[in-house]
Copies of this chain bind each other. A is one copy, B any other.
């Protein structure tokens, strides 16, 4: 094209091509899944050309890894802020649980649908990406685990007890995320905090019941 050339391209000004490509990749892959999104589609969405893509990223798999990193960066910052924030351990746990709905609410307003966890769009398709996603899931697990442990410490429950509750709540979170994505709805997330808190309460009340051993689960 002779009419326009140089660095200034179609995308929003002030945002580098590299960044626009990453944002487009995140948005498209999250919605359609990694295998259903082509490099061409990412370039078109970002207003960039193929050569620019491969100047910024060595491969399609590489931008997926960067996407996972970027998403977890934000999530981790927010969850760490909650963990280090004010209030009792129980209140911080409650805010952690609230975050799942708030996060999907923001994604809904940003992207126009409820995407669920990003790793639901990756599955096991790219080994390297699966490795990074697993590491991030583990980091999130540790955050939630310590939040639940802390909220139970003051009730005199030990860590093993807390870890079983953590497992149950994490699986409920996974299930809720799938349901939210498949149904494109925030509804499954609406009761998540209350459900988790009730589960904690139930487990605690059962703990004092002698008919349940030290391990209620």
* A residues with CB within 8 A of B: 32-33, 35-36, 119-121, 123-125, 130, 134, 168, 170-176, 178-179, 181-182, 188, 191, 194-195, 198-199, 201-203, 205-206, 209, 211-212, 216-217
Contact = CB atoms under 8 A, between A and B. Distances in A.
A32 B198 CA distance: 38
Nearest 9 CB-CB pairings of A with B: A171-B175, A174-B175, A35-B35, A175-B175, A202-B202, A171-B172, A174-B178, A35-B36, A202-B206
A173 B36 CA distance: 27
Contacts of A171: 171-172, 174-176, 179, 188
A9 to B, nearest CB: 29
Main secondary structure of the interface of A (DSSP, over half): helix
Contacts of A35: 33, 35-36
Contacts of A181: 123-124
B216 A202 contact: yes
Given A33-B33, A168-B195, A170-B175, 16 more contacts: A33-B124, A123-B181, A171-B174, A171-B175, A171-B176, A172-B172, A172-B175, A173-B175, A174-B174, A174-B175, A174-B178, A175-B178, A178-B178, A198-B216, A201-B212, A202-B203
